[in-house]
A = this chain, B = another copy of it.
Amino acid sequence: MLTERQLLILQVIVDDFIESAHPVGSRAISKKEHIPFSAATIRNEMADIEEQGYLEKTHSSSGRVPSEKGYRYYVDHLISPAGQTHKGNVISHMLKDGFFEFEQIVQMSAEVLSELTNYTSIILGPELFETKLKQVQLITLSAHTAVAILVTNTGHVEHRSFSIPAEVNPSDLERMVNILNTRLHDVPILKLQEIFNTEIAAMMKMYVEDFDRSYDYLKAAFLSDHPVKLYIGGKSNILRQPEFNDVDKIRSFFTMMDKEEEIISLLKHTDHGINVSIGKENEVDAIKDFSLITSSYQLGDGQLGTIALLGPMRMEYKKVISLLNIVSNEMTDALYMWYKNNE
């Protein structure tokens, strides 16, 4: 167990190290105004704290650095839930703007988050397995080309252009769209493929001449690829962190950031509220000396998306946590409004 004074010292060390990125020595601590103890006393305390695993040395005669356990304790017990609400205003303003497109807002939020923190921000769109198709529209641009537009109940819009082979009859096309609209309304996106292959195929065969060609084209146009959408902000902002002084670290970081699936799997927990993973607590090896802070936001219908900041273990937890709290709340609010309008 740590004494009061040890907690104070631990807090000072973590705060200081988060700010400076340099190991913290006893003398430096004793110089702070709210620390009335001598360097020697602090040395003794530090040895105790280290013994309990909250601190580490980078080498035998260096100052102390928080261990993962130290960060964990700091995050769990030593952070006062400071409310710097002024930071939220930037994003609040963005989101309160009457009209908006979901994706644009998310992308901007990601950029702003990264800009405010100098870490890399990641936002995971709503998980599509709850998302349902709301409406299908087909706009023909010419005799040979058309745009298919899919609108989901979350307000997400996707378009896809495709060319219409000469053999396909325009009236067939229209009939097909009607079929789609009737049958696919309120169908979960993830079940599209299945329904296409069974019911739709059957229905179409009845109504549409030259079934095969039309079917293939339409199917390709409608079944797009991404199940979840990922928004990353400020991949390069993180280079401002002093821990990125090592070229290999940069390389491995960027290599990891290119692997979308890995990142998605990392964020795909749907707990409510803030979640902090420090160092090896992360399941993915590639970020075993990073910290990842995630928060969830909610769509109008209760679905969850994830919003996260990835940075060095020496992260400004206090700032980041309150910021993420604000942003996820703002997003939830804004999306609730949007959803109500859309209903």
**A149 CB contact (under 8 Å) in B147, B240, B250:** B147
**A141 CB contact (under 8 Å) in B142, B155, B235, B239:** B155
Residues of B within 8 A of A258 (CB): 236
In the bound complex, CA of A205 to CA of B245 (Å) = 61
A217-B99 contact in complex given A251-B239, A342-B142, A342-B144, C-beta closer than 8 Å: yes
User: A162 contacts the other chain (Cβ, under 8 Å)?
Assistant: yes
Copies in the complex: 2
A98 lies within 8 A of B155 (CB): no
**Min CB distance, A310 to chain B, in Å?**
15
Which A residues lie at the B interface, using CB under 8 A? 98-102, 134-135, 137, 139, 141-142, 144-145, 147, 149, 151, 155, 157, 159-163, 165, 217, 220-221, 235-236, 239-240, 244-247, 250-251, 254-255, 257-258, 338, 341-343
Residues of B within 8 A of A137 (CB): 137, 139
Residues of B within 8 A of A144 (CB): 341-342
**Min CB distance, A322 to chain B, in Å?**
27
In the bound complex, CA of A142 to CA of B343 (Å) = 7
A159-B155 contact in complex given A239-B250, A343-B142, C-beta closer than 8 Å: no
Residue of B nearest to A218 (CB): B99
- Ordered by A's residue number, 5 sampled pairs between the chains whose C-beta atoms are within 8 Å are A99-B161, A157-B161, A239-B251, A246-B247, A250-B250
Residues of B within 8 A of A244 (CB): 247
Residues of B within 8 A of A163 (CB): 98-99, 338, 341
Residues of B within 8 A of A149 (CB): 139, 147, 149, 159
**Min CB distance, A149 to chain B, in Å?**
7
The 9 closest A-B pairs by CB, nearest first: A99-B162, A236-B254, A144-B341, A101-B161, A145-B342, A239-B251, A99-B163, A142-B342, A163-B341
Residues of B within 8 A of A102 (CB): 161
